[in-house]
Structure 1
């Protein structure tokens, strides 16, 4: 209710996937703030490694509550030995953005553009052959995400691997993409093509085929996020029918 209320009153958006609340993982935590019987604040904590903690806050414009939640997050990060805290905030959430800037604790890191597919577009299939990732593909996917041939081995949880599709050429994985499905919505994450295979139209074929299949499966909302400095990717997504929905700014601090 708090999320929907703030969206209606202030037009704020929040980077919280619908799967987040049902996903049971040691990497996901929730902070709830109550004032007597009134629910006045919520913080979502998520981490992909042991160094950085991602934070999304949903709260009424109240500096005292925000300050208390901020300190709770910092204490949590210290207790669990995180090195950095990364706050994610809608650029239009002027109250929270101003608080972060005025605190003097955080530095701007980067921005992401959240894009939503215009499902009125009839996107033809590219007939690109994708297959579900297997356990033995973990190292190759890690290397893709690291952007190197010898990426540091990263454990990929079985639940994430089951949502990952790969594209192979001559038996080698040259691209991977993860789909987070929830009800009639689907988020596209972790889409990466091997550096030496970029610029050959492979990415376009993959994303086109994926979106086409999701449309067949009747997903009413298909979305993804891309860094605002990645002009080639943003151009690709726009060209097949994705439209800008919101800009998220990331602010980091050392714990």
Structure 2
């Protein structure tokens, strides 16, 4: 696990980089704060007695996401390339092949690096924040804490809704349960469990993850009711509420927009062009 001192240095570097380009970096702080000390997932570069480069590797089921940054005054010195190569070497050791680089859509420096190094655009993701709006509570949809017997359905939801391979879904389920800031819930409708939702609470923020309804129960308004009930519960804590969604997922986008979420940042994802 990263020390508080290192986490503070990463946060300071993030603020400098974001201010420089007026961007929002996706460093997955919920994950950073609960790293497994046995796994090499974070790569640091110090110069002149301070942290000037950072790169984090994030494991999400079947894929690896990488996001990093270099202090504006230390760019074009090969620091990011060094950090990335260290991270890719570690990923290769562990057998990961589905690797994506994440960069804010508005980052000129990121686009320069990605184009120069032959990375190709894959997809984009909106980061969305809940804006105060009137929501109604639906008593027919119950959000309850997960139980041990729910694990099989949690895995099935990741397979059916997020295209996980079953073994990856099982492994992913075990890993995220180790993250202390996350709470895991199942969604019940008229006595039947039909979905799941995860909430990460830290620094007076609530992030919604893994929100899924079984395909056979979609299109009946259950997801909308579940989301509204969840938002109302998180509002009671006085927390700001966020979520991520792929820009191509029009159904999810409409649901989130209708429930009061607005986009405040766009993240682009890239993969390495295959050598011929």
Is TM > 0.5 for Structure 1 vs Structure 2?
Answer: yes
SS for the counterpart of 2:166 is coil
Alignment equivalent of 2:201, drawn from 158, 174, 181 = 181
CA deviation after TM superposition for structure 1 residue 21, in Å: 2.7
Residue in 2 aligned with 1:251?
Answer: 270
Match of 1:115 among 128, 139, 157: 128
| Counterpart position of 1:126 | 138
Partner of 2:248, secondary structure, is coil
Q: Which residue in 1 is equivalent to 2:48?
A: 36
Name segments (4+ residues, structure 1) moved above 6 Å.
none
**1:152 match:** 166
Indicate whether 1:216 and 2:229 are aligned: no
What whole-Å deviation, never above 9, does each CA across 1:1-46 have from its counterpart, x for those lacking one? 1101112221121112332232133567211111131311111111
Per-residue CA shift, 1:145-185, capped at 9, x if unaligned? 1117x972513223369711111246542111100110310
Map 1:1-255; keep pairs closer than 5 Å: 1-25=12-36, 29-49=41-61, 52-61=63-72, 62-63=75-76, 64-104=78-118, 106-118=119-131, 120-127=132-139, 128-147=141-160, 152-153=166-167, 154-155=170-171, 156-157=173-174, 158-159=177-178, 163-169=183-189, 172-219=192-239, 221-253=240-272
Cα pair 1:27 1:47 within 8 Å, conserved: no
160-169 or 72-81: which moved more?
A: 160-169
Please say if residues 46 and 53 of structure 2, whose CA atoms lie closer than 8 Å, have aligned partners that are also in contact: yes
Instruction: From the superposition, tell whether residues 40 and 151 of structure 1 become closer, same or farther in structure 2 (CA, over 3 Å).
Output: closer
Q: Does the aligned pair in 2 maintain the 1:85–1:252 contact within 8 Å? A: yes
Separation (CA, whole Å) in 1 of partners of 2:35 and 2:136: 36
CA–CA separation in structure 2 for the residues paired with 1:66 and 1:38: 16
Cα RMSD between the aligned structures?
Answer: 2.3
Distance in 2, Cα, partners of 1:225 & 1:231: 13
> By percentage of residues, which structure has more helix?
2
